[in-house]
Amino acid sequence: MASSKFAYYILFLFLSSILFALQVSSTSRHVLNNHKGFKVSLKHVDSGGNFTKFERLQRAMARGKSRLQRLSLVANFATLSSKDETNDVKSTIHAGNGEFLMQISIGSPSESYNAIMDTGSDLIWTQCKPCKECFDQSTPIFDPSKSSTFEKISCSNKLCEALPMSSCGDNNCEYMYTYGDYSSSEGFLASETFTFGKVSIPNVAFGCGNDNEGSGFSQGAGLVGLGRGPLSLVSQLHMSIFSYCLTSINEDAYSKSSTLLMGSMTRDDHNNIITTPLVKNPTQPSFYYLSLKGISVGDTQLAIKKSTFSLNKDGSGGMIIDSGTTITYLEESAFSLLKKEFSSQVNLPVDDSSSTGLDLCFKLPSNTNNIEVPKLIFHFEGADMDLPAENYMIADSRMGIACLAMGSSSGMSIFGNVQQQNMMVIHDLDKETLSFVPTQCDKL
């Protein structure tokens, strides 16, 4: 009889533990799924500096050219891997770096950090103690031992399997994430409570980096990936809609905050909304590809071959939209046509000094920023985007110059953040669409 009672007692404990585990798991999902979304302020990496408009643009372009090279390297690596049928290795190079910082808090009690927002990669990570090697950051390095909600993630976890490079040590998931400028983060995958604005979310998986090398991340304390892969913040929170709104490059607005909206904080019922399909690239699934059909300058549609912006079967080519690249880069044959037509329609002498680093500049009449420029329209699939002049022409009366904020690339094209300024850029991953809404972003 005693043994029978003992057996029932053991069974009761077993069932109670299962019920408790289910309650904990259900609670975590309940907390996650019932968020209406949240709003996070973004600041530009140069917003605190005393730079002129062109100095800011030049600094951003230098980072942008480096990022373009990395993004092209990522795409080329994936293309080569896809052609080699015996190669089972996933693409292990990522773009890294970025132009906007988002404030996040990690742990319990929480510590605040500025992390790079990156729509071109997935992994969320920060530097962690103890550090074998860490770059300098303005805030203290995260100390997992001081947080009551920190847990390491096991090797059997699906998110561990989603890492491009991982190994198993003491059943802990160890990772290495490399970037195109030879920067890298190496450590272990863990889960922690993350706070965005006033919203705290438990069990967010992130990389706890103990060995972080390179110069690509010195402006922040890590990175928040908003790509389309399973490790990104977007995928982990199951918030299929998010948007950002980036302030103007002009002096009066540049120091003001831009905005990231997650979940139902993003509305897609605006007036003047234009919408185009998002395109998937199986060899590079994290990027947000768009289908660009053509470009018009004034009333002239450029004679660009239909295949110029197409995503090829091997994963090369195509156009991505990227918050971390400053100016738009067009495949070189298309940019050549744009440059020629644009020059012919602007009634100003061309400036050949190359002082700005941009490919097409004009000499301004004295003491003016006001010039007539032709319309510039991007014909995306299902959506014609008539860009405001300030989204493609940068003028500075002190320098006596006005420039087209675009350049040429080889292969992949990128729709940059200058062209996105003062637009609510809405990513809807359920509908597989991307929408643009003209918005005064510094008023949000």
* Active-site residue (options: 46, 122, 181, 322): 322
Structure tokens of 376? 């510039």
d(CA 173, CA 184): 17
Total H helices, total E strands in the chain: 6, 29
Beta strands in 54-99 (DSSP E): 93-94
Give residues with Cβ within 8 angstroms of 72, minimum separation 6. Answer: 409, 410, 411, 412
What DSSP letter does each residue of 14-65 carry, written as one string? HHHHHHHHHHHHHHHHHHHHT---EEEEEEETTTTS---HHHHHHHHHHHHH
CA distances in angstroms from 44 to 64, 186, 218, 220, listed in the order given? 14, 26, 14, 11
Give residues with Cβ within 8 angstroms of 188, minimum separation 6. Answer: 152, 153, 169, 172, 173, 174, 175, 207, 208, 210
Do strands 172-179 and 184-196 pair parallel, antiparallel, or not at all (unpaired)? antiparallel
Judge whether 322 counts as a catalytic residue: yes
Report residue 322: phi and psi, to 5°: -145, 125
Report residue 6: phi and psi, to 5°: -65, -40
* Nearest C-alpha neighbor of 221 from the set 321, 109, 143, 165: 143
Question: Are the CB atoms for 200 and 193 separated by under 8 Å?
Answer: yes
d(CA 68, CA 365): 33
* Active-site residue (options: 118, 122, 181, 351): 118
In 151-289, alpha helices (H): 158-162, 233-236, 251-254
* Nearest C-alpha neighbor of 151 from the set 192, 110, 186, 123: 192
Structure tokens of 323? 């918050």
* Nearest C-alpha neighbor of 191 from the set 172, 177, 210: 172
Enzyme catalytic residues: 118, 322
